[in-house]
Structure 1
Amino acid sequence: MRRLGWAFVALVLVCTVLLAPLWPGLRGVPPTEVSPFPAATVTPTPSATPALPARTTPYRAVWVSYLEWQQLDFSSADAFSRGIDALLDNIDALGATVVLAQVRPFGDALYPSTLFPFSHLCTGVQGQDPGFDPLALLVEAAHARGLELEAWINPYRLQAGSVPALCDESPAVQHPDWTKATDTGLYLDPANPDVRQYIADGIRELCQNYPLDGIHLDDYFYPTTSATFDAAEYAAAGTGLSLADWRRQNVNALLALCHQVTQSYGVRLGVAPLADLSLCRDGQYSDAALWLAEGGYADYLMPQLYWGQSYTLDGDDAHSLGKLAAQWAALPRAPEVALYGGVGAYRIGDGDGSDGGAAEWQTGHALAEQLAVLESLGFAGAGLYRYASLWENPAWPDLAAAERQALSDRWVTASPGY
């Protein structure tokens, strides 16, 4: 405060109190009261806050990943705005309603943050300020088109291999005791309660500073099944749980904590888990069936159903889209948790490795037909992974254009539920 007079200080405090309810998401509605984050020895329980209002528009999403950001010009706010204007115009014209924009891919951010350094995607150097706020421009441009914007974050990943080069402000440098390394990269430790609070605080910062429609988590939870990954932490925990159950408890605690935060701001929380329920539960220790059956962990799940309808491997069709989707549709589902399906636009032309080859993915209408299957099974919405596969696909430009037309015929012309 230095030399500010007490009268001015009082005025600032009064204004802060009066305006505070307007800050979270600029929604005009103050966040509901949330109990303090649990102490390190307490496992958060699902919040009992009411469900968010029912959707009035279909949920039709497109993922925009950090790979798309690598192709955009971040040299100035104007250059970036031109790039996202074209991107969002395409998404809007397709009939989509939601943009899932990856804004925190490697423990860094596409926005100014007090918790995370700027992403290397902005300038080529992690921690370097691009001179503008990409997320603010994204939210404004999406909302101007009537599109919803969800901030997609990767909860644990800090590096893939050795990329990106970490700056001094990276959580890996600031808190090396929070990290775990595998042969695939560097990750925040899911067992560490300080890590859970850090991730939840990052979500709170997003909800406070931007008028977001949602927070979206991808499927990067535990990065390995190796017992040596966290042997010391597991032994110290002494819970009596099996290693697998203990790891699932850690992920559940993170989801409950994050959901408590988003609920307090009226922002939905979604997760895109692996499509294979057994790999989800026992490979990444994500108890997605529990999250779907009980409120308090997420507002929607969107499993990544990235195989075709005719997919077989060695004669086994267990991973075909219809078989996987039917398993998800048959799970118990809390009324306040929605079930959406993610489909793999990145398979266009190349196929999914099926015994029968890629013919299904070379029809020009594979995605639209997959959406029809999901809707017939009771899924309430869908997402397309990812933007560039549909609009920036040099290997299969004609097929991508045909898939876009088939999707537009469904979403714009026919305009069914999704």
Structure 2
Amino acid sequence: MKTKEIRGVWLTTTDSKVFRSKQRIAQAMDLLAETGFNVVFPVVWNKAVTMYPSQTMQQTFGVEIDPMSVGRDPLAEVIAEARRVGLKVIPWFEYGFASSYNLNGGMLLQQKPEWAARDNQGNLLQKNGFEWMNAFHPQVQDFMLNLVLEVVKNYDVDGIQGDDRFPALPSTGGYDPLTIARYQQQFGHSPPHNHQDKQWLQWRADILTDFLARLYGEVKRVNPNLLVSMAPNIYDWGLREYLQDSATWLKLGIVDLIHPQIYRRDFHSYKAIANQITSCQFTDATLPKLAPGILIKLGSYSISPEYLVQAIAYNRRLGISGEVCFFYEGLRENNNALAQVLRNGAYSKPAAFPTLADLQQPSNSRYLSFWQKIKRFWKNLF
């Protein structure tokens, strides 16, 4: 009987040419299957365009697909080639509620200025170069939900994925007239000027949690076997900075797979975060849903083979049955060096992707309970 693990990788359009042709897509799927991966997360929404012909985008903004993909359907091509080699496909809505990157809102907010998120000075909400739509605006929520639903209704996918921008909003946001009026109606006064005020923070996070619950229900109505996967920032930093209350998502059961972005550039730091989230955020019942995000490439940074091997081994030691690598091109560097390391080591034996039932049942609960007791003992000791 095959081991069941989540062995995933993100497929991007940034710093990657995989989506440029069906041949490149086929080659990528071959490499992933040969390496031992069993699920791919292809981007379908970034930079205000989709990687599939979208009627939602056509009707709302007059742009059907990424201009570089006109006449093609890269998502359909990824699905066909992934199925050919036995990979699961979970489309990734990378930009989420972000409208643009260093473009002052870009095309989306030029056409829909009323959709803009605002900071406490009334300026367009920006953080780390990204400009944001108002994630609390009903029309913005409906727009994003419609993007998700047209994918699950029109394509043979295994689920959908959000991330650190979906559902999310920088906690410096929420000062647009609509949200202020909503807050005033409920509490009788304006929101605090301090964006980190605990009650104000939680009130806004709860709106995003409600949206995720709605999205989860709508996706399951299309097909109850579809997975709702999320790759949020690490709790509770993600709550304080991006209003992502992932602990509550787990408690409410509105996420099937969760991939906290443990994007640390050394194993010691990775280990510390993995210890923190498994001991404080996850229980025996929710641990099967966990497959952390591991940063293997970003700009000039590339993970060392030793660190990647250590991280995967430590995941298994904690009872974590999988991980997702960011991103595909990191496997290809130095003549596919990392792919070879995985193929000859941690991923040398095939692993089946877990079923929805697997993700909803405690895994190795007797062992995990013992291990968690040991961790708590040492934590209390020191």
TM value normalised by structure 1: 0.70
**In the alignment, does 2:290 pair up with 1:342?**
no
- Which ranges of structure 1 fall in alignment gaps of 5 or more residues? 1-54, 75-79, 124-128, 312-319, 352-360
Q: 2-side partners of 1:310 and 1:144: how far apart?
A: 35
Identify which of 258, 263, 276 aligns with 1:301.
258
Q: Is the 8 A contact 2:102 2:131 kept in 1?
A: yes
| Change beyond 3 A, Cα 1:280–1:73 | closer
Identify which of 250, 262, 275 aligns with 2:219.
262
**In the alignment, does 2:322 pair up with 1:381?**
yes
2:30 is matched with: 89
Q: 1-side partners of 2:216 and 2:134: how far apart?
A: 19
Q: 2-side partners of 1:307 and 1:185: how far apart?
A: 21
Q: Is the 8 A contact 1:293 1:333 kept in 2?
A: no
1:245 is matched with: 202
Instruction: Report deviation, 1:226.
Output: 2.4
**In the alignment, does 2:278 pair up with 1:329?**
yes
The percentage of aligned residue pairs carrying the same residue is: 21
Task: Trace 1:45-194 onto structure 2 (pairs within 5 A).
Answer: 57-68=4-15, 71-72=17-18, 74=20, 80-116=21-57, 117-120=63-66, 122-123=67-68, 130-153=70-93, 154-162=95-103, 166=107, 170=108, 172-180=109-117, 181-183=124-126, 184-194=129-139
| Change beyond 3 A, Cα 1:83–1:250 | same
Q: CA offsets per residue over residues 238-286 of structure 1, 9 Å max, x none?
A: 33393201210121022111111221213111111113x2321110010
Q: 2-side partners of 1:187 and 1:268: how far apart?
A: 26
Q: CA offsets per residue over residues 192-216 of structure 1, 9 Å max, x none?
A: 1222222122211111100101101
| Change beyond 3 A, Cα 1:411–1:332 | closer
- Which ranges of structure 2 fall in alignment gaps of 5 or more residues? 58-62, 118-123, 192-198, 354-382
Bigger proportion of residues as helix = 2
Q: 2-side partners of 1:368 and 1:161: how far apart?
A: 36
Q: 1-side partners of 2:32 and 2:164: how far apart?
A: 23
Instruction: State the AA in 2 paired with 1:208.
Output: K
Instruction: Report deviation, 1:65.
Output: 1.3
Q: 2-side partners of 1:269 and 1:228: how far apart?
A: 26
Q: CA offsets per residue over residues 214-247 of structure 1, 9 Å max, x none?
A: 1011111544332674366234333339320121
Could you say which structure has the larger radius of gyration?
1
Q: 2-side partners of 1:349 and 1:197: how far apart?
A: 38
| Change beyond 3 A, Cα 1:308–1:262 | same
| Change beyond 3 A, Cα 1:333–1:300 | farther
Instruction: State the AA in 2 paired with 1:298.
Output: V
| Change beyond 3 A, Cα 1:328–1:231 | farther
| Change beyond 3 A, Cα 1:346–1:163 | farther
Q: 1-side partners of 2:105 and 2:139: how far apart?
A: 23
| Change beyond 3 A, Cα 1:190–1:91 | same
Q: Is the 8 A contact 1:293 1:334 kept in 2?
A: no
Q: Is the 8 A contact 1:110 1:118 kept in 2?
A: no
Q: Is the 8 A contact 1:150 1:216 kept in 2?
A: yes
User: SS of 1:112's equivalent?
Assistant: coil
The 10-residue stretch of structure 1 (370-379 or 339-348) with the greater mean CA deviation from structure 2: 339-348
| Change beyond 3 A, Cα 1:332–1:73 | closer
User: SS of 1:321's equivalent?
Assistant: helix
2:362 is matched with: none
Instruction: Report deviation, 1:377.
Output: 0.9
Q: Is the 8 A contact 2:99 2:106 kept in 1?
A: no
Q: Is the 8 A contact 2:10 2:327 kept in 1?
A: yes
Question: Aligned residue pairs: how many?
Answer: 322
Instruction: Report deviation, 1:66.
Output: 2.0
Q: Is the 8 A contact 2:312 2:346 kept in 1?
A: no
CA root-mean-square deviation: 2.8
